[in-house]
Amino acid sequence: MSELSPAQLSLGKRAAQILQDTGMLAALVVLFVACCITVPNFGTLKNFEGILIAVSTVGIISTTMLFCLASGNFDLSVGTLAPCAGVITALVMQKTAKLPWYESFALGTGSAIAFGALVGFINGFVVAVCRINPLITTLATMQMVKGFGLVISDSQSISDYQPAVIKLGSAAFPAFYTPDHMPIFRLTVPVWICFACFALFGFILNWTTFGRDTLAIGGNEEAARLAGVPVIRTKILIFTIQGIVTAIAGILILARTGAIQQDTSQGLELLVIAACVLGGVSLTGGIGKMSYVIAGVFIMGIVDNAQSLKDIQPPYRYVVSGAILLAAVLFDRFKQKRSA
């Protein structure tokens, strides 16, 4: 058997790289077309609207989880921080209900975002300065935040607060209606915020020093430190931004649902990590693109939506979600071995 020529080897490497870069985007297209053909009502505009709304929370948080994973870390506390931010927003707005609505709204959302920044800073400080494993660190803060949310809400659902938050979740532009004024497709504020996060953090990752430093730390932290990258500061900033963005996502959960409790969105952290890894972001760091995250987020959203339309019961959907996460991790491991 004759050996491959250098040109053939180069062509094979380019083909493999193209497959790695676009494989999940192609899988997303195939999955979308297959669902349109096989799942009843999947291809309707109303269903597309529902998919966009459903993936907005995971999409928003995934844009900053990308930076955590790309730097060789991850954050498990997002699953309890998001609902806790919603609880803080609702409670502060309850306490300030006598103020003008915009002041109450600003105090509520500002308090939640400040709390998210504090939790993120603590995570970053412990991981970067104290050099504690991010699994242990964020698992601890996850439990602390959950307990804090349960205490301040008295373990109850909160729904009595300023209606300005509800308007934030329901406002839509553009909105398309039938001649008899029935809505057929709307892009709501949470969806636009998700799109904005995709664009903003994609730009930061690809075109700023902060993005390059993030990938350098994940690729080889010691080499990045010797090259002058401010490793500690960058890690703390990554986790702090993660906390802020997660708090914003929590506020939008409150805005979309009209009520919030600390046990809302259980397992959110696993969905976010699964979406990133499924798209191709490496768990070991150093590899990540926003296109990967977008593909992973929408694959997860389409699979969940198709199961809902097929009337598959929640216990079985948990099995499917777990299987997707396992498949993503195995695929990540396969890519690492191939690179080695």
pLDDT at 153: 87
pTM listed for this prediction: 0.88
| Angle at alpha carbon of residue 313, lines to 311 and 318, rounded to 5° | 125
- Residues contacting residue 237 through CB under 8 Å, at least 6 positions apart: 124, 210
- Residues contacting residue 97 through CB under 8 Å, at least 6 positions apart: 104, 161, 162
**pLDDT at position 8 over 60:** no
**pLDDT at position 18 over 60:** no
Task: Among 114-123, 206-215, 286-295, 309-318, name the one with the lowest average pLDDT.
Answer: 309-318
Decide which of 184 and 32 is more confident. Answer: 32
How far does Cα 198 stand from its chain's mean position? 10
**Backbone φ/ψ region at 39: left (φ over 0), alpha (ψ -120 to 50), beta:** beta
| Angle at alpha carbon of residue 166, lines to 165 and 170, rounded to 5° | 120
Rounded CA separation 19/25 (Å): 10
| Angle at alpha carbon of residue 292, lines to 301 and 35, rounded to 5° | 35
Decide which of 138 and 310 is more confident. Answer: 138
Average pLDDT over residues 54-72: 93
Average pLDDT score, the chain: 84
Average pLDDT over residues 199-223: 92
pLDDT at 1: 44
The 3-state DSSP class for residue 323 equals: helix
- Partnered with residue 281 across adjacent β-strands are none
pLDDT tens-digit readout, 259-290: 788 787 888 888 898 888 887 787 777 788 89
